[in-house]
Amino acid sequence: MKKGIFIVISGPSGVGKGTICDLLLKNKNIDFEYSVSMTTREKRNYEKDGIHYYFTTKEKFINKIKNNEFIEYAIYNNEYYGTLKSEVLKKLNQGKNIISEIDVQGAKNIKNEFDNSLLIYVLPPSMEELKNRLIKRGTETKEEIDKRLKIAIVENENRYFYDYVVVNDKLDIAVKEIEDIIKNKIIDNK
Ligand code: 5GP
């Protein structure tokens, strides 16, 4: 049996990765499952443990690193984020496709370690618009937003190693574009 495809969605904070993934997952025409990452960052009000992330402490996260429980992990803005082996390996081996939101460092690791990966970078129409979206989201302080925008500049420069770059100007158009990219990859994998 062919292994499933490891689909990675990256892009700067606030670009709309979460919304895009939600909409893609609601589309019953595409056959994939969401990989829930583990993080040490604080939970946002609307987030649910086990659905958006597995929230944990730095101590527990570091223990899991020592126990070799992650496929990849990265430190983003002084917090740990990682993909658990238990969350994806079995599913991929069963031929199931996985979609995950992963930062640029993690995406590079996935590309190196999985032959059957699909890396998509979501770009904002402009940095001004990205800032507006972060302000509108209202989940971070002004200082935190500034830090995330600084990281975004470096992240955007790394978009060239992705298989595809999609601009999220109009949400429905971006979702359709990503949906088509994934569907074509699934057809190729059959
Ligand atoms: P946020 O705090 O906005 O939820 O996420 C910050 C960054 O961490 C985003 O770029 C997000 O895609 C990334 N991220 C989330 N989960 C993982 C993961 O499991 N591994 C890596 N490397 N990055 C992740």
Q: What are the residues facing 122 on neighbouring strands?
A: 166
The structure's pTM equals 0.95
83 Cβ below 6 A of ligand 1:
yes
Residue 111 has pLDDT above 80, yes or no: yes
CB 23 within 8 A of CB 139: no
13 Cβ below 6 A of ligand 1:
yes
Segment 69-94, tens digit of pLDDT = 999 999 999 999 999 999 999 999 99
Report which ligand 1 atom has the smallest distance to the Cα of 13.
3
Task: Report CA(1)–ligand 1 centroid distance (Å).
Answer: 30
CB 10 within 8 A of CB 155: yes
Segment 138-182, tens digit of pLDDT = 999 999 999 999 999 999 999 999 999 999 999 999 999 999 999
Q: What does CATH list as the number for 6-189?
A: 3.40.50.300
92 Cβ below 6 A of ligand 1:
no
CB 39 within 8 A of CB 132: no
Report which ligand 1 atom has the smallest distance to the Cα of 77.
6
